[in-house]
């Protein structure tokens, strides 16, 4: 079997298991890079070759811990899970740094929404922020999954291939209905091009970047920042962390607890230590 045929086989297997297009693309890319790096046919690649490849990514290409983990997972999927040949998952790679992400304030979110000059761009930000959507979920939202009369919607096959219910507030419903009226051709997707097909993730990323620049936001704004703001602002509002977990579709509560660290709630009752210095002198 040629290397190209292996990639096709891996792609079919990943699709059968319900992996996202993004994960499939990443796995195939890293496997192909391994084949090119070794210059060997897949069956002749040794465990040491895989270790050298991961070292190359870490030392020479300075890949981050998360990228190295993804590369290892891709190679492990084929050589460990499909072939049961090498225990690739045991190879140690650079640890993923626990860097806290930037969070937008409510005022900054409003400035970005206000910077939108058309209904589509305004609705994109409103949906991603008020529903805590990942960009991959936002581009694939379907009209049939939005029940505006009950103020709810369903995100189909989110991360981990799980559906979850989202809340639609009245202002958001008004924006949805206004935007849908402007569409010339019917489409199953909420956000669609003139031919009815959904926009790409890249298109959304460009729109978000331009709106942030127009709004004068100095923080690094990316598509996931609205989901971070959603989680953080819910915690600051006093919503129970378990409810936040459900609203965000997290499998692990520890993932949701990140938003406690990002919120201002952890500083409640701490007071001003500089003021305390003056009090102690008196």
Residues annotated as catalytic are: 134, 159, 224, 227, 250, 259
User: Please, what sign has the CA dihedral across residues 53, 56, 57, 61?
Assistant: negative
Find where tokens 């040794």 sit. Answer: 46
Distance in angstroms (rounded) separating the CA atoms of residues 282 and 278: 7
Q: Which DSSP string corresponds to 16-41?
A: HTT--HHHHHHHHHHHHHHHHHHTS-
Name the strands in the sheet holding 164-167, side by side, starting at the edge strand that comes first in the sequence. 146-147, 152-155, 164-167
Distance in angstroms (rounded) separating the CA atoms of residues 103 and 228: 6
Distance in angstroms (rounded) separating the CA atoms of residues 253 and 256: 5
Could you tell me the maximum CA-CA distance found in the chain, to the nearest angstrom?
Answer: 82
């Amino acid at each position: 079997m040629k290397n190209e045929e292996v990639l096709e086989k891996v792609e079919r297997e990943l699709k059968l298991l319900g992996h996202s297009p993004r994960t499939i693309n990443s796995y195939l890319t890293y496997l192909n890079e391994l084949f090119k790096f070794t210059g060997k046919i897949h069956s002749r690649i040794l465990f040491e070759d895989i270790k050298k490849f991961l070292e190359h990514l870490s030392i020479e290409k300075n890949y981050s811990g998360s990228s190295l983990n993804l590369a290892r997972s891709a190679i492990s999927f084929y050589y460990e899970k499909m072939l049961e040949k090498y225990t690739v998952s045991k190879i140690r790679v650079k640890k993923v740094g626990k860097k806290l992400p930037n969070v937008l304030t409510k005022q900054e979110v409003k400035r970005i929404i206000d910077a939108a000059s058309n209904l589509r761009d305004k609705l994109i930000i409103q949906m991603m922020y008020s529903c805590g959507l990942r960009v991959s979920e936002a581009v694939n939202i379907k009209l049939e999954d939005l029940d505006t009369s009950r103020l709810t919607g369903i995100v189909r096959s989110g991360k981990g291939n799980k559906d979850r219910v989202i809340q639609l507030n009245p202002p958001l419903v008004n924006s949805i209905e206004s935007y849908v009226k402007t569409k010339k051709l019917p489409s199953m997707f909420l956000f669609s091009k003139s031919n009815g097909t959904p926009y790409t993730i890249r298109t959304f990323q460009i729109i978000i970047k331009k709106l942030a620049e127009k709004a004068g936001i100095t923080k690094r704004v990316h598509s996931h920042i609205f989901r971070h703001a959603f989680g953080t602002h819910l915690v600051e509002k006093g919503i129970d962390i378990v409810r936040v977990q459900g609203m965000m579709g997290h499998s692990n509560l520890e993932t949701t607890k990140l938003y406690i660290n990002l919120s201002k709630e952890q500083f409640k009752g701490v007071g001003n230590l500089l003021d305390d210095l003056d009090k102690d002198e008196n």
